[in-house]
Amino acid sequence: MPKFKLLVFDWDGTLMDSQGRIVNSFQAAIADLQLEYRNVNQIRTIIGLGLEEGIIALFPTLAQSPRLLLAKHYYDYFWSAAALPTPLFSGIAEMLQTLHATGYWLAVATGKSRLGLNRSLNDTGLQSLFLSSRCAEETSSKPHPQMLQEIMAELEVSNSETLMVGDTDYDLQMANNAGVASVAVSYGMHEKDRLLKCRPLVCLDDLSELPVWLQNFES
């Protein structure tokens, strides 16, 4: 019997290469409102939080009204026809299909909106692989454990049977806060040294290695 029954994946930066689109959309929205410039690294560091929490992290003193306007402009740019493409990372679809066929239960815990996740699932054709998902506006933002706790409660799976997979310390801290083990990936939004401070079981350079790693870890 495998140690883990439920594998919960972050989306942006873990399964999907969306950094360029997110950064460009934020920078264009910031310019529209004539706010102080934020560079790529400043924006990268807040990816994984809910949009409201990310905006507050970028502009701590910004009042509520311009925060809401910035969010609207961000969404307008993100969903525009001219936005950069957001492909799955290489090997991700095959990796998820392998895990699903092996018998693992799959879920998503993401800082994306529900609209954004549903569009991504539909565009990639992966919706049938996931039993549950939670998005930023539905629960507390990472690293609060509520996303994971709700998924585990819905599927009646214990924290010892659950594994969180993500590319930011928000994902890994959420797992720690929920008493759940984690796997990090090194190619996403946060640097490997930052991820390792959260004590994941492993930090993979290529997530397509996850099925083999799980097989070895659980044998």
**Is residue 17 annotated as a catalytic residue, yes or no?**
no
Q: Dig out the tokens for 115 from the structure.
A: 């609209």
Beta bridge partners of 165: 9, 183
- Residue 35 gets the label, from left (phi > 0), alpha (psi -120 to 50) or beta, of beta
The pair phi, psi for residue 132, each rounded to 5°, is -155, 160
Catalytic residue among 10, 167, 169, 171: 10
Catalytic residue among 12, 167, 169, 171: 12
Are 169 and 191 spatial neighbours (Cβ–Cβ below 8 Å)? no
If we measure between CA atoms, which residue out of 83, 149, 117 comes closest to residue 14? 117
If phi > 0 it is left, if psi is from -120 to 50 it is alpha, else beta; for residue 197 that is: alpha
Q: How far apart are CA 162 and CA 159, in angstroms?
A: 5
Decide if 12 is catalytic: yes
Contact predicate 63/33, CB 8 Å: no
Residue keyed to tokens 């997110």 = 22
- Whole-number Å distance between alpha carbons of 160 and 157: 8
Residue 33 to residue 119: CA distance in whole angstroms: 27
Residues with catalytic function: 10, 12
